[in-house]
Copies of this chain bind each other. A is one copy, B any other.
């Protein structure tokens, strides 16, 4: 606890921001020589309190490190990845901070916000909603791209111009669409079983209709395949792992074939690995998270 406060003090370049954001340490546990912490803060984009996990590698009280952002999938909070993925070992070895936000605003008192596993709470889809009911709080795109990194850089030992992003499923899509539109901000992007083409799958159609309305041209801003078709990509490589025994692949939610096709058409470098027999779970993520961390470390160091 003492260490955490000392770190926050040491790296806060704006004491006022720290106080205004109401940063609170929820937990701090030593892990692989560093610290896995959870904080809450008041988000101005989302107009609610948000939690996030942050792994600080060894010696984060002495020096600044690059930051790797992880975006989780449907139903997750900041806890799933930090307890199950086993990422801390590789973050410690590669000297990376790993930031793990929650997947949506919470407790906004919007009618129906807790009714579905794939819409509302736990299902923010990393977009800025435009439909009247959701547009005040459901601004996860701006939260992830602007507010959270500024907050992390103000309060933790983060090197501002060294950021990468990865995620899983809904968060794999989030990582892809965010990185594709912000190649000036991120050094690299990767994903586990991402929703590659949400405008053409049940999860995407439900979420985009609800958050963005019926005009499908607005949906394309948040679809990895549409973005690549329109704008290509300047990343030297995009790493995607997809399990072949993933039920959601079989159900047509993920569409890696569409991603492969548009990347080939637009000559966008893509390393899509079909991992034989793996499913959609954190056991799959844990198996290959080392490869993803080392992939990003290569671009961040």
Contacts and interface: CB of A to CB of B under 8 A. Distances in A.
Interface string A261-301: 00000000000000001110111101100000000000000
A84 B283 CA distance: 10
A133 B221 CA distance: 65
A77 interface: no
B86 A89 contact: yes
A69 B78 CA distance: 31
Nearest to A80: B83
Query: For this complex, into which size category does the number of interface residues on chain A fall?
Result: 20 to 34
A82 to B, nearest CB: 9
A88 interface: yes
Given A36-B283, A83-B84, A86-B286, A245 B277 contact: no
B30 A88 contact: no
Contacts of A283: 29-31, 36, 88
A277 B86 CA distance: 19
A77 to B, nearest CB: 15
A84 B279 CA distance: 18
A89 B287 CA distance: 7
A32 interface: yes
Contacts of A243: 30
A243 to B, nearest CB: 8
